[in-house]
Each structure stands twice: as C-alpha cells, then as structure tokens.
C-alpha cells in the first residue's frame, strides 16, 4: 500500500521532498557508491530543485549522483517546454555534477530511435534488463496522467518495454516516457501533487472506483510515497 504524506503548502512539501532525496542519496552512495534518480518535468518540482541546489543539500557527493528523466517532450534542450530545461536551470547548472552523469533523452533524432537509444543506455548503465532506480520522481496532471502516461494512449502496448514513444492527445509534439514497468521497479517512488486544481482527480484516484482509469494508478509499488499539499488533498475523505 502506498503512503500519503500531507503538507501545509508546496514549500513545506518541497522541503520534505528535498530531505527524502538527500538522505536517500547519502545512504545509497555510502552503501553502493552511487545514487540514480529520474527527475520529473512540470512545474511542481521547481521549488524542490532550487532547494537541492542550496545548502544543506548542495554538498551532496554529486560526482556519485546520476540523473535521468522519467519522461521528455521531443523539443530542443533550450526550449523551456523540455523537461530537462527546468532541472538544469534550477539545479544541475548550480551543483558540481559531471556532465557525463546527466542522461537527457535524445530528442534530436526520430522518437523511435530515441526510445531505442535510451533503452540501450538504461540497460547498459544498470547492467540489467529491468533497471531499478534508487529514486523516481513523478508529478500528476489534472487528468490523472503521470510521466507521459496519458489517459486514452497506447499504455497496453508498453508491456515488456522500459521506455515508449507517446503523444499526448491533442498535442503535436512527440514524447518519450518511462513505462509503468520501469517505474514500478524503482526502490523509491515519490509522486508530488500540489494545488486545488488537482484535488478532484486526486480524490478520484484514491477512491479507486474504476481500476486503472487514471494512468497514475498503474504506479503500484510498496515503495511509493505520495507527497501532497493540503490544497490538493482537500477533497480526500478524512
Ligand atoms: C510533463 C511531466 C508531467 C508532469 C505533470 C504535472 O512532461 O508534463 O512529466 O507528468 O509531472 O503534468 O505537471 P505540473 O507539475 O506542472 O502540474
């Protein structure tokens, strides 16, 4: 059963998320010599990324931290719609992480080639056909999507895959996303949800009335923690 932690507001939530990530990173580096994390896109993690770039978190052993993304929009890296753009501008450009530790999705090539290349990178880096990230960070949209797993898309075709090419209904750009299988293999999963606009869908997701109606319900792991603020939690049954 996943655990839900509620915070007064997005700043309190981000501070706690930074603590969780920092301690997980230190523990994993001490134990295994490295910490692997997949960051999420969207606006929610911006405060968190800025906190990780400042004391006390910025003195982590960044040379032992390896950063991936749980999804990406196939737009140039300097386009602010690119998910790695936010993380680089608020965090990665401000800490001593070696460039070779940052694995952005290859967005310049056709998306089918990008998927194959990223899957190869994951299997080779983790030396496993089903990589287990130390931490995967996710958000959730108002339609219950997470990463780029959207309602009404080819989620059933992702069986056995680590990464897939998708399109958000109504959006022209290609996207690449981690599959539920890859996400669920992680040792820690954090889903960050803030704001009143998410309250209705969060309540529906937790009510679980229609199994897997919402893609975020495909994230089923005992290592999953929901970090939500009071506004997003305002429709949850007490
Ligand atoms: C993306 C993200 C996506 C995001 C949610 C929530 O590419 O858009 O990966 O899954 O996490 O849409 O976005 P906000 O944090 O902006 O609400």
Lookup: tokens for 235: 């429709």
Instruction: Report pLDDT for 211.
Output: 73
Ligand 1 within 6 A of 42 CB? yes
Q: Cα dist. 175→24, 71, 147, 149 in Å?
A: 29, 7, 10, 10
Q: Which residues fall within 8 angstroms of residue 99, CB to CB, at 6 or more apart?
A: none
Rounded distance from Cα 146 to ligand 1 centre (Å): 7
Per-residue pLDDT of the chain (238 residues; tens, 9 = 90+): 579 999 999 999 999 999 999 999 999 999 999 999 999 999 999 999 999 999 999 899 999 999 999 999 999 999 999 999 999 999 999 999 999 999 999 999 999 999 999 999 999 999 999 999 999 999 999 999 999 999 988 787 888 999 999 999 999 999 999 999 999 999 999 999 999 999 999 999 999 766 778 999 999 999 999 999 999 999 998 7
SS3 state of residue 157: helix
Atom of ligand 1 nearest to the CA of 44: 15
Q: Which of 48, 74, 140 to mutate to test the pocket of ligand 1 (most atoms within 8 A of CB)?
A: 140
Rounded distance from Cα 187 to ligand 1 centre (Å): 21
For 5-63, the three-class secondary structure string (H helix, E strand, C coil) is EEECCHHHHHHHHHHHHHHHHHHHHHHHCCEEEEECCCCCCHHHHHHHCCCCHHHCCHH
Instruction: Report pLDDT for 1.
Output: 56
> 123-140 b/e with 16+ CB inside 10 Å = b?
eeebeeeebebbbbbbbb
């Amino acid at each position: 059963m996943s655990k839900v932690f509620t915070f007064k507001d997005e700043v309190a939530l981000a501070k706690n998320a930074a603590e969780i990530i920092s301690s997980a990173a230190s523990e994993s580096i001490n134990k295994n010599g490295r910490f692997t994390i997949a960051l999420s896109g969207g606006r929610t993690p911006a405060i968190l990324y800025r906190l990780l770039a400042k004391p006390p978190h910025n003195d982590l052993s960044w040379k032992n931290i390896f950063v991936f993304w749980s999804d990406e929009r196939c737009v140039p890296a300097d386009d602010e719609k690119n998910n790695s753009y936010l993380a680089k501008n608020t965090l990665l450009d401000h800490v001593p992480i070696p460039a070779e530790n940052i694995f952005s999705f290859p967005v310049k090539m056709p998306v089918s080639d990008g998927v194959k290349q990223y899957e190869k990178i994951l299997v080779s880096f983790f030396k496993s056909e089903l990589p287990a990230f130390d931490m995967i960070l996710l958000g959730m949209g108002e339609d219950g999507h997470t990463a780029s797993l959207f309602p009404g898309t080819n989620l059933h075709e992702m069986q056995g895959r680590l990464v897939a090419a998708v399109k958000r209904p109504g959006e022209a750009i290609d996207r690449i996303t981690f599959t539920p299988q890859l996400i669920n293999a992680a040792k820690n999963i954090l889903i960050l949800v803030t704001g009143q606009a998410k309250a209705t869908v969060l309540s529906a997701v937790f009510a679980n009335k229609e199994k897997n109606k919402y893609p975020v319900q495909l994230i089923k792991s005992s290592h999953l923690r929901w970090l939500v603020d009071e506004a997003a939690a305002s429709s949850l049954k007490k």
